[in-house]
Chains A and B, each alone.
Chain A
Amino acid sequence: MSWFVRGILGGIHTMRRAVRAESAPGTTPGLPTSVSPATAEQRALEAICPTNAIVAEDGGVRVREERCVHCMRCSPAVTAASLPWRDDVAWVRGARREIDEAALRGAFRRSIHVRVVDAGDCGSCLSELTHLNDPLYNMHRLGIFVTPTPRQADVLVVVGPVTEQMRSALLEAYDAMPEPKRVLAIGACASSGGVFGPSFTSAAGAGDVVPVDAVLPGCPPPPLAILDALLALTGDRTR
């Protein structure tokens, strides 16, 4: 039996629901979120967060999500004093201002080509990106395609903190893309430097090197959050 026939007989495995409605266990680690007012125990979590993602202020706790490296120290399974952890996947945020979906809708006509630049990633962000090809997620059905050619790319996806030795390659990749173009920083590393940057080898994320439009927190962000972020850049997150 050929692989083609086997493929057909295997049936459709893709999730049936919209990206934001999928909720199978283990699809997302969750993400700590701000709370106000906060208890004294919650405010004390500021001291255990390795990347200063948790800030106690004005009687509440503010989480700088793009700094969270998912060390899990403040998760509900580890501490009773946990912050609320969100279980949705709409984690993406505009880097400078909120994402204007209406304006984007015209720019890319709902289909986008993505170029990925690994600027020092640990392998997990890339792995989650690879899983968008997974029949379970299947980004192609949503009009998202990964391309190796900068000339065809609409969106530059950056993973990793941007190591010194990847800085010029990232800049070249950005410069080679035609307008209009968008830059999406994926993961704590690319959004804020994560555990690595800024340092003698790494920048504090992609924003230090290229103009970033949107950041997606998470270490790593799960495939569903990446899909949602890419859909946000097409101007239609309802799919």
Chain B
Amino acid sequence: MTIRTLAPDQLVAACNELRLAGWRLATIAVTDSELPELRYVFWNTNGPGWQQLRVAPPSPMPEGVRRIPSLTPTIVAADWLEREIEDLFAIDFEGHPRLGDFVLHDSRWEEGVGPMRAGARTQQALVERAWRPRRVLRDEGAFVMPVGPVYSGEAESALFLLETVGEDVVRTVPRLFYKYRGIEKLAQQRSVDDALLLVERANGTSAFAHAWTYCMAAEEILQLAVPDRALRLRTIFAEVERIRRHIAVLRAIVDSTALWVPAARLLELEEHLLRMCGDLTGHRYLFGFTVIGGLQRDVNDEALTRGVARMKAIVGSVRSIVVQLERTSSFLDRIQRVGILSPERAHEFGVVGPFARASRVAYDLRRIQPYGAYQDAAFEPPTASEGDGYARLRVLAEEIAISLSIVEQLERDLRPGPVRVEWTPSAGEALAWCEAPAGATVQLLRLNDEGRCTLLRFTPPSFRNWQSFRWVTEDFAFQDFPIILATCGLSVAENDR
């Protein structure tokens, strides 16, 4: 991997050059919090390859603030990454259109705390202040309707500001990070094994994908050759997790349209997969299954074969439910032409995963930057071009079938053998990635020679996708809000970390 060092005033031009050559911004990391150094990580959309640009920001201004040119006016996908870093490291991005009140809510935190800076007081000065949304709409009779942060049933906590002039919502601004747990900060100084537990619990419904990514980064630093059987089993269970999570999203979509019978059926099918995982790996959400060096335990081959047969039946049932749904016109009416994300916007915002593939952005790390055992499986990720709720539903349904086929291909050639290698600590830095159920996830990890984690930058797919949510929710009828939200399949926990 190439790392180029730049002066701050060369940054924007260099990034733009990469953008024009087909590279996309994957994340921005602050890699040295004492003398903050920024790292701009790009991936290639045309073939394997990553690039990093390293920039040391200038020394602090008289008021103690460090300032660096903002990338956002040139690369929109940098918007949220810069806002996040501004809050957590108190680094100012010059020329950014809107900073402040993002990860750290103004109602609770003093400005400029920067809790992730080296030596920052982690016992923060908490405040209790009233907070009012900024109103952008100035029309006669316009008002903001807040929904959340606690709003319905078993929904995740998040606030949505619906700007409306009556029955129709003109736009929606999400306010997130109510669930900010500070995983990147907490990971620092935990042992490499214990930091894994944090990453695993960032989003429990995609726990395996994130845990695996973390393990890949650590294994590269420790230069471990993970046994073939472990690689294959990891790949198999990553696909099982994808199927389960996609079924859960399908269920949420159906549920939002009040079709209780198919919603209950899908819930039941998801439960069967949870039980299968519990039976085979010991944990229904695959916690503790992947560890550094391989797998914490092996899987019984006969039980796995039975599991795959059971999965085939489950996926068959999902398929027939989807076919019936596609014949239910009242259902289609509610998901077609709502919540549209145009291919241009999807590209511009660096949206990832099935959400992006439904808007014709066919970027899948399993294919373009292979890892695990994906090179041993034949598959082609699906795409659609309308970018509406129905396109997303179809992409999810097709991906479920493809994941099953990957599992079947890999299970056939599974050979007995060890699933874990021993290791001793060593220092280093590595970047790892994986196509999590919701899309590309990227982690930059640094370990010291005592086996402790000293740096974790973790940019999950939901963070990237939430950024485009306000464009998906423009000009719609109020009652469609839960449906649009469900079709996006966004995790709040994963975004908030």
B28 at the interface (CB under 8 A from A): no
Q: Is the CB of A134 within 8 A of B177?
A: no
Q: Tell me which residues across on chain A come within 8 A of B182, comparing CB atoms.
A: 199-202
Bound form: Cα–Cα A122–B248 in Å: 15
B185 at the interface (CB under 8 A from A): yes
CB distance from A65 to the nearest CB of B (A): 16
Q: Is the CB of B494 within 8 A of A116?
A: no
B201 at the interface (CB under 8 A from A): yes
Q: Is the CB of B178 within 8 A of A163?
A: yes
Q: Is the CB of B179 within 8 A of A196?
A: no
A222 at the interface (CB under 8 A from B): yes
CB distance from B313 to the nearest CB of A (A): 15
Bound form: Cα–Cα A128–B264 in Å: 14
Q: Tell me which residues across on chain A come within 8 A of B259, comparing CB atoms.
A: 3
Q: Is the CB of B197 within 8 A of A129?
A: no
Contact of A134 among B124, B185, B271, B297 (CB under 8 A): B271
Q: Tell me which residues across on chain A come within 8 A of B128, comparing CB atoms.
A: 168
CB distance from A23 to the nearest CB of B (A): 11
Q: Is the CB of B261 within 8 A of A4?
A: yes
Q: Is the CB of B153 within 8 A of A26?
A: no
Of residues 145 through 162 on chain A, the ones whose CB sits less than 8 Å from some CB of chain B are 146, 148, 160-161
Q: Is the CB of B178 within 8 A of A195?
A: no
Q: Tell me which residues across on chain A come within 8 A of B421, comparing CB atoms.
A: none
Given known contacts A3-B259, A28-B278, A78-B297, is B207 in contact with A124 (CB within 8 Å)? yes
- Of B283-291, B368-376, B425-433, the one contacting chain A is B283-291
Q: Is the CB of B279 within 8 A of A195?
A: no
Q: Can you list, as one digit per residue, whether each of A77-89 has a CB less than 8 Å from chain B (1) or not (0)? A: 1100000000000
B100 at the interface (CB under 8 A from A): no
Of residues 57 through 100 on chain A, the ones whose CB sits less than 8 Å from some CB of chain B are 69-73, 75, 77-78
Q: Is the CB of B277 within 8 A of A123?
A: no
Given known contacts A78-B297, A133-B267, A196-B181, is B274 in contact with A26 (CB within 8 Å)? yes
Bound form: Cα–Cα A87–B202 in Å: 27
Which range contains the number of A residues in contact with the other chain? 35 or more
- Of B144-152, B400-408, B475-483, the one contacting chain A is B144-152
A180 at the interface (CB under 8 A from B): no
CB distance from A156 to the nearest CB of B (A): 11
Bound form: Cα–Cα A163–B122 in Å: 14
A25 at the interface (CB under 8 A from B): yes
Q: Tell me which residues across on chain B come within 8 A of A24, comparing CB atoms.
A: 275
Q: Can you list, as one digit per residue, whether each of A186-200 has a CB less than 8 Å from chain B (1) or not (0)? A: 000000001110011
Contact of B203 among A4, A50, A122 (CB under 8 A): A122
Best-surrounded residue of A7, A10, A127, A194 (most CB of chain B within 10 A) = A127
Q: Is the CB of B288 within 8 A of A118?
A: no
Q: Tell me which residues across on chain B come within 8 A of A129, comparing CB atoms.
A: 154
CB distance from A49 to the nearest CB of B (A): 10
Bound form: Cα–Cα A183–B199 in Å: 28
A211 at the interface (CB under 8 A from B): no
Contact of A123 among B180, B267, B278, B494 (CB under 8 A): B494
Q: Is the CB of B279 within 8 A of A3?
A: no
B276 at the interface (CB under 8 A from A): yes
B186: nearest chain-A partner, CB-CB: A199
Q: Is the CB of B275 within 8 A of A116?
A: no
Q: Tell me which residues across on chain A come within 8 A of B285, comparing CB atoms.
A: 124, 127, 220
Best-surrounded residue of B179, B180, B288, B296 (most CB of chain A within 10 A) = B179
Q: Is the CB of A6 within 8 A of B324?
A: yes
Of residues 152 through 167 on chain B, the ones whose CB sits less than 8 Å from some CB of chain A are 152-157
B299: nearest chain-A partner, CB-CB: A77
Contact of B181 among A73, A202, A220, A222 (CB under 8 A): A202
A165 at the interface (CB under 8 A from B): yes
Q: Tell me which residues across on chain A come within 8 A of B108, comparing CB atoms.
A: 164-165
A148: nearest chain-B partner, CB-CB: B152
Q: Is the CB of B276 within 8 A of A200?
A: no
Besides A120-B157, A169-B157, 15 new A-B residue pairs in contact (Cβ under 8 A), listed by A number: A29-B282, A72-B296, A72-B297, A73-B288, A75-B297, A117-B150, A120-B493, A122-B207, A123-B493, A124-B287, A164-B108, A165-B177, A165-B178, A169-B149, A173-B150
Top 5 A-B residue pairs of the complex, sorted by shortest distance between their CB atoms: A124-B204, A26-B275, A72-B288, A26-B278, A26-B279
10 contacts between A and B (CB under 8 A): A4-B261, A26-B277, A73-B296, A117-B157, A121-B179, A124-B205, A124-B287, A131-B274, A134-B267, A219-B201
What residues of chain A have their CB less than 8 Å away from a CB belonging to chain B? 3-4, 6-7, 10, 13, 24-29, 50, 69-73, 75, 77-78, 116-131, 133-136, 146, 148, 160-161, 163-166, 168-169, 173, 194-196, 199-202, 219-220, 222-223
